[in-house]
């Protein structure tokens, strides 16, 4: 598979994909920040959850790989410390009590580096509280997309590796191998309603899967994304609404 990076449209993300941070609010409950804690929000996107955490903790830093997202976060929440940085490749000067990450770690295909960096960035006894896409996440959409690309001869694009979706067993053992103690792990299906009732899947593909279209002409992009939407309709369209077939894992682990 070829590995590619994704670039973000911060406005489209906020207009049509606000569910990403709405769902993250319950993860903050699991984090249960304390008023004396220093917390890192890893993959903070446009900063909404970082802002929520800032009202509960002593310090919060938001880190995201996308300069567009960080620019938006800084603009929206000027009192918070946001920085551009990559989960697979970040260093901190002062250790954190906790690392929070919502809907971000599946973008880090160098997951071992991300785990090692999280470990290094925590004080002993510190915790990670993370949620991201688990095994078979958005499988219906990605299978259909790969099939439509392949059918038109876009074999290289059909083999794109953009995401890391482990089972909880797999992820927990990687964390343990890195020195963490896993204290909570859950996997669950979370079918997620998409905003647009007409073009829900097409919008989702354009927002999150555009890297599959590197080297694909515009006419084919339009045709493929519509074809994928039609193909997945029996599974992902119910009562006039589109749903993405999200499967999540949620893990809390401590640095021993
Ligand atoms: C997710 O939140 O599971 C996800 C979002 C975009 C692309 C892939 C997965």
pLDDT tens track for 162-205: 999 999 999 999 999 999 999 999 999 999 999 887 899 999 99
| Confidence band of 74 (pLDDT split at 50, 70, 90) | very high
Q: What is the DSSP string of 47-83?
A: SHHHHHHHTTSSEEEEEES-HHHHHHHHHH-TTSEEE
Residue nearest to atom 6 of ligand 1 (CA): 208
Identify the CA nearest to 209 among candidates 151, 135, 153, 133. Answer: 133
Model confidence at 122: pLDDT above 80: yes
Check if 101 has its Cβ closer than 6 Å to any atom of ligand 1: no
Model confidence at 16: pLDDT above 90: no
DSSP structural state of residue 7: -
Model confidence at 14: pLDDT above 70: no
Model confidence at 250: pLDDT above 70: yes
Cα-to-centroid distance, 94 and ligand 1 (Å) = 30
Query: What's the pLDDT score for residue 10?
Result: 67
Q: Following CA atoms 99, 84, 187, 117 in sequence, which dihedral angle do they give, to the nearest 10 degrees?
A: -50
Check if 119 has its Cβ closer than 6 Å to any atom of ligand 1: no
Q: Per-domain residue ranges for the chain? A: 10-136+162-194+244-255
Check if 243 has its Cβ closer than 6 Å to any atom of ligand 1: no
Cα-to-centroid distance, 133 and ligand 1 (Å) = 6
Check if 39 has its Cβ closer than 6 Å to any atom of ligand 1: no
Identify the CA nearest to 47 among candidates 30, 56, 60. Answer: 60
Check if 128 has its Cβ closer than 6 Å to any atom of ligand 1: no
Model confidence at 13: pLDDT above 70: no
- Integer angstrom CA distances of residue 149 from 4, 61, 137, 158, 211: 16, 39, 19, 5, 12
Model confidence at 5: pLDDT above 70: no
Q: What's the pTM?
A: 0.91
Query: What's the pLDDT score for residue 22?
Result: 72
Quote the crossing angle between the two packed helices 139-151 and 218-236, to the nearest 10°. 140
Query: What's the pLDDT score for residue 146?
Result: 98
Residue nearest to atom 9 of ligand 1 (CA): 133
Query: What's the pLDDT score for residue 68?
Result: 95
Query: What's the pLDDT score for residue 93?
Result: 92
Tokens of 36: 């004396």
Model confidence at 102: pLDDT above 60: yes
Beta strands at 81-84 and 59-64: parallel, antiparallel or unpaired: parallel
pLDDT tens digits along 208-225: 999 999 999 999 999 999
| Confidence band of 23 (pLDDT split at 50, 70, 90) | confident
Query: 21, 45 in Cβ contact below 8 A?
Result: yes
Q: Which atom of ligand 1 is nearest to the CA of 133?
A: 3
Residue nearest to atom 1 of ligand 1 (CA): 133
Mutate to test the pocket of ligand 1, among 163, 165, 212 (most ligand atoms within 8 A of CB): 163
192 forms bridges with which residues in the sheet? 244
CA 205 vs. chain centroid, Å, equals: 15
Query: What's the pLDDT score for residue 195?
Result: 87
pLDDT tens digits along 28-41: 999 999 999 999 99
- CATH number for 10-136+162-194+244-255: choose from 3.40.630.10, 3.40.50.150, 3.30.56.10, 3.40.50.1100: 3.40.50.150
Tokens of 214: 């590197």
Q: Which atom of ligand 1 is nearest to the CA of 137?
A: 3
Check if 138 has its Cβ closer than 6 Å to any atom of ligand 1: yes
Cα-to-centroid distance, 236 and ligand 1 (Å) = 15
Model confidence at 109: pLDDT above 70: yes
Number of residues that this document lists for the chain: 256
Q: Rounded to whole angstroms, how far apart are CA atoms 107 and 133?
A: 9
């Amino acid at each position: 598979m070829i590995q590619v990076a994704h670039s973000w449209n911060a406005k489209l993300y906020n207009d049509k994909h606000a569910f990403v941070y709405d769902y993250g609010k319950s993860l903050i409950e699991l984090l249960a920040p304390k008023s004396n804690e220093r917390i890192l929000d890893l993959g903070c996107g446009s900063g909404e959850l970082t802002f929520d955490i800032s009202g509960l903790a002593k310090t919060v830093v938001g880190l995201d790989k996308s300069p567009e997202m960080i620019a938006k976060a800084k603009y929206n929440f000027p009192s918070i410390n946001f920085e551009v940085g990559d989960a697979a490749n970040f260093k901190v000067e002062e250790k954190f009590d906790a690392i929070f990450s919502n809907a971000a770690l599946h973008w880090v295909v160098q997951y071992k580096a991300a785990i090692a960096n999280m470990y290094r960035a925590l004080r002993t006894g510190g915790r990670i509280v993370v949620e991201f896409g688990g095994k078979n996440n958005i499988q219906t959409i990605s299978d259909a997309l790969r099939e439509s690309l392949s059918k038109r001869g876009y074999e290289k694009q059909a083999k794109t590796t953009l995401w890391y979706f482990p089972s909880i067993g797999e992820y927990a053992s990687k964390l343990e191998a890195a020195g963490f103690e896993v204290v909570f792990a859950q996997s669950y299906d979370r079918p997620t309603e998409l905003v647009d009732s007409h073009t829900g899947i097409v919008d989702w593909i354009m927002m999150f899967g555009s890297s599959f279209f590197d080297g694909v002409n515009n006419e084919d992009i339009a045709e493929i994304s519509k074809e994928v939407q039609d193909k997945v309709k029996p599974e992902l369209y119910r009562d006039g609404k589109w749903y993405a077939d999200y499967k999540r894992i949620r893990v809390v682990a401590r640095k021993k």
